[in-house]
Amino acid sequence: MKIIPFLILFCSLQARATVCENRGPNVILFTWDGVRGQEFFRGTGAFHALELKKEERGEIFSTFWKKHAGEGMVLGGGNRYKIGSRTAVSLPSYQALTLGKATACTKNKDCPPIQEESVLETIQRSLHLQKKDVAVFASWNRIQDAAAKNLELITNGVYPNRVLDETMSEDMLKLQEEGLKDLPEWNGSRKDHYTFELGLGYLKKNCPRLLWISLVDSDEYGHEGKYPEYVRSLRQYDQYLDRLLKALASMGDYGKQTTLIVTTDHSRGAGPLWRGHGVTKNTEKNIFLFATGRGVKPIGRVDDRGLSLQVRPTLEYLMGLSPSGQPLPNILVE
Ligand SMILES: [Zn+2]
- CATH number of the domain residue 103 falls in: 3.40.720.10
Region of 24 on the Ramachandran plot (φ > 0 left; ψ -120 to 50 alpha; else beta): left
Q: How sure is the predictor about 278, in pLDDT bands with cuts at 50, 70 and 90?
A: confident
The answer to whether residue 331 is domain-embedded is no
Residues whose CB is under 5 A from ligand 1 (ion)?
Answer: 34, 219
pLDDT at 112: 98
Cα–Cα distance, 232 to 223 (Å, whole number): 15
Q: How far is the CA of 33 from the centre of ligand 1 (A)?
A: 7
Which DSSP string do the residues of 165-176 spell out, in sequence order? STTS-HHHHHHH
Q: How many CB atoms lie within 10 A of CB 42?
A: 14
Percent of the chain with pLDDT over 70: 94
Going by their DSSP bridges, the two strands 258-264 and 155-158 should be labelled as unpaired
If pLDDT is split at 50, 70 and 90, which confidence band does 282 have? confident
Neighbours of 78 (CB within 10 A): 12
Question: How far, in Å, from the CA of 63 to the mean position of ligand 1?
Answer: 26
Q: What is the pLDDT of residue 18?
A: 64
Mean pLDDT, to the nearest integer, of 70-79? 97
CA angle 101, 102, 105 (to 5 degrees): 150
Q: Quick check: 168 pLDDT over 60?
A: yes
Task: For 112-145, write each residue's pLDDT tens digit.
Answer: 999 999 999 999 999 999 999 999 999 999 999 9
Q: How confident is the model at residue 12 (pLDDT cuts 50, 70, 90)?
A: very low
Tell how far the Cα of 56 is from the centroid of ligand 1, in angstroms. 23
Give CA separation, 112 vs 17, 84, 148, 151, 264, in Å: 42, 18, 12, 14, 21
Asked whether residue 24 is assigned to any structural domain, the reply reads: no
Q: Coil, strand, or helix at residue 244? A: helix
Query: Is pLDDT above 60 for 194?
Result: yes
Q: Half-sphere exposure (CA, 13 Å, Cβ side) for 128?
A: 0
pLDDT recorded at residue 279: 75
pLDDT band for position 334 (cuts 50, 70, 90)? confident
Domain that holds residue 114: 30-318
Q: How far does residue 162's CA lie from ligand 1's centre (Å)?
A: 24
Task: Specify the number of domains making up the chain.
Answer: 1
Ligand 1 centroid–CA 127 distance in Å is: 34
Q: 160 CA distance to ligand 1 centroid (A)? A: 19
CA–centroid distance, residue 57 to ligand 1 (Å): 23
Per-residue pLDDT, 13: 45
User: Mean pLDDT across the chain, nearest whole number?
Assistant: 94
Residue 264, in any domain of the structure? yes
- Per-residue pLDDT of 27-49, as tens digits, reads 999 999 999 999 999 999 899 99
In a domain, 16, yes or no: no
